Amino acid sequence: MTPPIRVIPNAAQRATSLLRTIQYTHPPSCPCHSNPGYHQSPPTGIIPRLQGAGQRRFATPGSNADLQEYAFEMAASAIRFGPGVTKEVGMDFKNMGAKRVCVVTDSTVDKLDAMRQVREGLTREGINFDVYSEVRVEPKDTSIKAAIDWARPYKPDAFLAVGGGSVIDTAKLMNLYTAYPDADFLDFVNAPLGKGLPVDKPLKPLIAVPTTAGTGSETTGTAIFDLVSKRAKTGVAHRNLKPTLGICDPINTRTMPAAVKASSGLDVLCHSLESWTAIPYHQRTPRPSNPILRPAYQGANPISDIFSFHALRSTVKYLPRSVRDPDDFEAQSEMLLAATLAGVGFGNAGVHLCHGMSYPISGQNPGYQHAGYDVPSPLIPHGVSVAVSAPAVFRFTAHSNPERHLAAAEAFGVDISNVKKESAGEVLAEALIKFLADLGDQPKGLKDLGFTNDHIEDLVEGTIPQARVLMLAPGLSKELEHEKDQLRRLFEDAMTH
């Protein structure tokens, strides 16, 4: 009898198995993940107070403001990964009984093979659909409102986003505000820039087909845009915004220009590093008075660590290859997988200073136009705005957990065997600077983007409202004036590297 042969699963299969485990244990319908009101003060009276001596005050109402968290949760969109899976999307909508689908894309992607496959798949299955192709790259509140105004009278029963993070985020907000036709735009926007109201009902099904390998938006409940009046980026963050399904087809990322691959990949890099180095979940305060109030961005935890660190190592290995060689299909596939894994990691652990500082950097752009992007107005791509401060950020955060920062440096190929803990920040910063230089065509600090020291105060003021991510930054003061001083020094350090 022929002995059985054991097949060792590859990285993609192992990651898919772990995603399935998360979906099985915490499906999107889990009531803990509807999470209304986590921006708000905890409501009282949700759960009767436990009485009696010796009772543990876990997830009970009352004054939990000074109590640290003791638990974490994991949630992610269902993910389908494989070359050619885009053609299945028509069957997906037929299976869910969709009759009227709003397809969201941008003018560039609308001409690519991904949209051709989408149109063919929907038509083949007899799905009625209409296409909104006016999404703006790095969306502003005005472009989001225009998309919402288009979607509301169309009254779709499902959404399909085909494109990068800008497209997927726009589709999330179209879905949200069509479900709340009477809502003011700032009602759901993150506090303090908006009201941060809870999303207290389920939204329409949303399938996301990413055509870039970067944002991980196909896995998260976060949608980001530029709030022009405040000169800062903000967004809406709630688990109910998560796509129902992310269809990750590496064939769709082959058309990315090299500059877009680089910027998108740097977003993956910082997602991974920030979620890996965020404060541990058990140090976050306040402890929720009800599990329904537990935020999506919870701090580093043992499950998010697996996704984040794997994505970091993959990005270091495959991003330079994917940028240099568009025909390196292995590198393109692994970067798409890394983006999705990083999305699961930071979608549950959160990001911190690189992203918090990036929002005013891009929102207060003094006129910089990044090479390789065919857009009509000045643009600092999101990945560029995030990575430009990374060396300064990780010098600052390293003292909080030098072991993690050294492990990250080792992922870049640094020999850490004789490195002292107090040098962890400088070692990781130097590894990042070398990586950015080797990648090519990246600004060597904020000065290369046109910023000067005269801009620092405005950049600090634009960072302060990003409380949702700043609360996860290790070493950042909770006292406002001290926090501002720390941010000033960080922006000064980020001027050149």
Domain span at residue 360 reads 33-73+260-493
pLDDT of residue 376: 83
Residues 287 and 382 in one domain: yes
pLDDT of residue 329: 95
Q: Among 249, 281, 299, give the residue marking a domain's end.
A: 249
pLDDT of residue 196: 86
Residues 55 and 94 in one domain: no
pLDDT of residue 372: 87
Taking the model in full, what pTM does it have?
A: 0.84
Token output for 433: 């600077």
Amino acid identity, position 477: S
Residues 68 and 141 in one domain: no
Q: Among 205, 221, 249, give the residue marking a domain's end.
A: 249
DSSP 38-93: TTSPPPSSSSPPP-STT---SS-SS--TTPPP--------EEEESTTGGGGHHHHH
Asked if residue 14 belongs to a domain, the reply is no
Residues 237 and 377 in one domain: no
Distance CA 36, CA 271 (A): 25
Asked if residue 3 belongs to a domain, the reply is no
pLDDT of residue 17: 64
Asked if residue 386 belongs to a domain, the reply is yes
Asked if residue 26 belongs to a domain, the reply is no
Number of domains within the chain: 2
User: Pairing between strand 158-163 and 128-132?
Assistant: unpaired
Asked if residue 448 belongs to a domain, the reply is yes
Element (H, E) at 207: strand 206-210
pLDDT of residue 469: 93
Residues 335 and 411 in one domain: yes
Nearest 5°: CA angle at 420, between 416 and 421? 100
pLDDT of residue 204: 97
pLDDT of residue 14: 65
Residues 170 and 190 in one domain: yes
Give the residue among 305, 271, 316 at the shortest CA–CA distance from 431: 316
Asked if residue 145 belongs to a domain, the reply is yes
Residues 151 and 218 in one domain: yes
Q: Among 195, 217, 249, give the residue marking a domain's end.
A: 249
Residues 367 and 394 in one domain: yes
Here the CATH number for the domain that contains residue 149 is 3.40.50.1970
Asked if residue 417 belongs to a domain, the reply is yes
Asked if residue 142 belongs to a domain, the reply is yes
Q: 312-337, pLDDT tens digit by residue?
A: 999 999 999 999 999 999 999 999 99
Beta bridge partners of 207: 160, 245
CB crowding 446-456: b at 16 or more within 10 Å, else e: beebebeeebb
Residues 350 and 425 in one domain: yes
Residues 158 and 241 in one domain: yes
Residues 88 and 118 in one domain: yes
Residues 226 and 268 in one domain: no
Listed as ranges, residues in the chain with pLDDT below 50 are 25-61
Here the CATH number for the domain that contains residue 382 is 1.20.1090.10
Helices in 155-250 by DSSP H: which ranges?
165-179
Q: What is the DSSP letter of 309?
A: H
pLDDT of residue 22: 52
pLDDT of residue 393: 98
pLDDT of residue 290: 84
pLDDT of residue 63: 59
Q: 38-71, pLDDT tens digit by residue?
A: 333 333 333 333 333 333 334 444 557 679 999 9
Check if the beta carbon of residue 483 is closer than 8 Å to that of residue 464. yes
Distance CA 416, CA 349 (A): 26
